[in-house]
Structure 1
Amino acid sequence: MSKFEDNPFSDPAIDNPFADPAVQQVARNTNTVTQGLDDYNPFDGTQNANQATPPQQPTQPAIMQAVSPPASGQYTRPSPSQQPQGPPSNFTTADFQRRQEELERKAEELARREAELRAGSAGRRNNWPPLPSFCPVQPCFYQDINVDIPLEFQRIVRHLYHLWMFHSLVLALNIVGGMALLFSGKGPTVFGLSILYFILLTPFSFVCWYRPIYKAFRSDSSFNFMVFFFIFLIQILITLVQSIGFLDGGSCGLITSIDAFSVNVGVGIVTLLVTIGFITCVVADILLITKVHRIYRSTGASLAKAQAEFTTEILRNPHVQTAASNAAAAAVNAQISNNRY
């Protein structure tokens, strides 16, 4: 290792590159630039004196240059696939005629429906009771729960309709019980009154409490709700009396059934079934009138609203209007006659 010297450039025969004046000048310039970068602070508000500021160029707003449209000769013709397609070549006159016949048939169907809507006061044909066409008596009411009643009230209206049907069925079974009592020697009183109850109560219950509640839910009528509550309470009282079954009262109630067991067990069983039917009607009546009253209160109806509806309906009644106009005319004529004399 002694053969090697510490400074390889100590030999004067070897040229020292750092002794070249050009290299020394480049080194001095590099130190100046590095010193400027070391002194630069990006967070200082003033710029470094050693750093030159580039000259600012004047700015101008961007202007959109109008482009002249190409000459008419430069437009290209659209391809056949892009051109509007006309009617297919295989569309014959028979197809046109068939479509024309379909349009005429649809127009006739629309005209027929409009005529059906105009026919009648409500624009619909009565469909209840569902009587055959050959029957001389035609339906008296229109009833369609799916069409007339709002969706949230259809279930309760169906329950009321089924309740009316169950009342009618129990009244019909009451006739059978009265017939059994007649054959057992109890007399014809119960049998005759049971027929009268069936003839009177079945249509009256439909007209007096079922139709009002149907109209009440259909048009949200407070007046019809009031009519239903009043008549239905009477219905509950009548059914309760029939379930008790006073002797010779015309119904196979509890008292009549107990008395029938002393005569014949079979007659007692028949009358007991009728009694169970009447009791079931009373329970169902109470449950449904409670539910209807809850719905009635939730709709915001009141007695004042029912009175207002009643007054409005009375004034709209053509018979009432005719009577009022006749009374007014008579009063005017009487006043004129008194003034003459």
Structure 2
Amino acid sequence: MSKYTSFPEPIEDQNPFQDPAVTQHSSNTEYATLDLYNPFDNKNGPPPPYEATCPSAPSVPAQTPPSRTTPTEPRNYGSYNSQTVVNATTAELLRKQEELEKKARELERRERELESHSLGSGASRQNNWPPLPSFCPVGPCFYQDIHLEISQTFQRTVTVMYYFWMFSACTLLLNLISSLAMFCVDPTGGVGLGLAILWALIFTPCSFVCWYRPVYKAFRSDSSFNFFAFFFIFFAQVITYVIMTIGIPGWGFSGWIVSLAALNTSVPVGVIMMINAVLFTAQTAMGVVLLKKVHSQYRQTDASFQKAQAEFATGVMSNQTVRQAAATAAQGAFTGPR
């Protein structure tokens, strides 16, 4: 135990306050020492806590590491981000796809045209209009294919004319219904009902044959004769539309005069006839617009009145019935009595 309780021999002339650790600690003003603390001064309070600090090292300015983009980090390309670039690329691909589809449809149409022309003069196309069921004893009367026979420039116009003919047929059918309703309320209006039936039976097929088919043939083969036939007949048709819109009593048209007079007899019947009068008005306005539209496109073609005359003469002379009648007349005149 003596080795644990023995103290080293004191060294003479050794000042404990000159120890290097003590002098270094006391020379550093950053440490709280007893020299800076007065226990009898009540204003200062307890001594500050001891904070061990490392020796100050020379400050090195911090360097900002260079920014590097990772493969998963979107890069900035000026004012356009990556999403904008992707959207622009997608829109460009969609536009090219639409152009390719349009070209494919045009090539398919031309291929069908070549196939139809390769049938020859002796071959005939199978009629497809009107689209009647197979069990019907009456077959289709015309061949019609707007996308095949009409050039792409005039396809829209011919399609609108076809829908306008269907609208006219539906308007005449509604006129028949409104006249029948008026006859049920007022039996004295039997003449109007009979004429409404007659107009529906006459105007529906005749309008298709007399002005729709000519405009179809005119745009199909750039026929001057069919253009002039359409202008003449369709102008008369527009005048008829005006008469329908007016609604003269006893003529079988549910125009404005007849419909306003029908309100005094029966309000529901008068409302139905007024709806028909509105349709007649819209039909007249559309007819005028379409007439001007066809005329503007007619001026873009090579059609003329001289060509129309030449086509008429050629058509008449190429008709088998006309040639046979002319040959019979000439033979009769040659072999007649002298």
Specify if TM > 0.5. yes
Counterpart secondary structure, 2:299: helix
Measure the CA separation in 1 of the matches of 2:256 and 2:291: 24
Aligned counterpart in structure 1 of residue 295 of structure 2, from 268, 293, 296: 293
- 1:294-333 equivalence runs, <5 A: 294-333=296-335
Which residue does 2:211 correspond to in 1? 209
Shift of 1:241: 0.3
Q: Is 1:162 aligned to residue 157 of structure 2?
A: no
Q: Is 1:142 aligned to residue 143 of structure 2?
A: yes
Which residue does 1:106 correspond to in 2? none
Measure the CA separation in 1 of the matches of 2:199 and 2:123: 32
Measure the CA separation in 2 of the matches of 1:297 and 1:270: 41
Q: Is 1:224 aligned to residue 214 of structure 2?
A: no
Deviation above 6 Å: which 4+ runs of structure 1? Answer: none
Which residue does 2:269 correspond to in 1? 267
Whether the aligned pair in 1 keeps the contact of 2:222 and 2:302 (CA below 8 Å) is no
Describe the superposition over 1:205-255 as per-residue Cα deviations: whole angstroms up to 9, x where unpaired: 000110111111111000001110111011111111011001111010000
Gap regions ≥5 residues in structure 1: 1-112
Measure the CA separation in 2 of the matches of 1:332 and 1:193: 51
Which residue does 2:180 correspond to in 1? 179
Aligned counterpart in structure 1 of residue 256 of structure 2, from 240, 254, 257: 254
Describe the superposition over 1:37-77 as per-residue Cα deviations: whole angstroms up to 9, x where unpaired: xxxxxxxxxxxxxxxxxxxxxxxxxxxxxxxxxxxxxxxxx
Between 1:324-333 and 1:302-311, the stretch displaced more is 324-333
Counterpart secondary structure, 1:123: coil
Q: Which amino acid aligns with 1:311?
A: A
Which residue does 2:241 correspond to in 1? 239
Counterpart secondary structure, 1:331: helix
Which residue does 2:35 correspond to in 1? none
Cα gap change, 1:122 to 1:149, in 2 (>3 Å): farther
Whether the aligned pair in 1 keeps the contact of 2:179 and 2:254 (CA below 8 Å) is yes
CA RMSD, aligned part only? 1.9
What TM-score comes out, normalization by structure 1 length? 0.62
Describe the superposition over 1:245-285 as per-residue Cα deviations: whole angstroms up to 9, x where unpaired: 01111010000011011111111110000001111110000
Cα gap change, 1:163 to 1:121, in 2 (>3 Å): farther
Which residue does 1:197 correspond to in 2? 199
Shift of 1:320: 1.5
- 1:8-27 equivalence runs, <5 A: none
Q: Which amino acid aligns with 2:168?
A: H
Shift of 1:331: 2.4
- 1:27-66 equivalence runs, <5 A: none
Shift of 1:189: 2.0
Describe the superposition over 1:144-178 as per-residue Cα deviations: whole angstroms up to 9, x where unpaired: 10111111000000000000000000000001110
Gap regions ≥5 residues in structure 2: 1-114
Measure the CA separation in 1 of the matches of 2:157 and 2:189: 41
Q: Percent identity?
A: 46
Which residue does 1:110 correspond to in 2? none
Which residue does 2:65 correspond to in 1? none
Shift of 1:117: 4.3
What TM-score comes out, normalization by structure 2 length? 0.63
Size of the aligned set, in residue pairs, is 222
Counterpart secondary structure, 1:136: coil
Shift of 1:303: 1.3
Shift of 1:330: 2.0
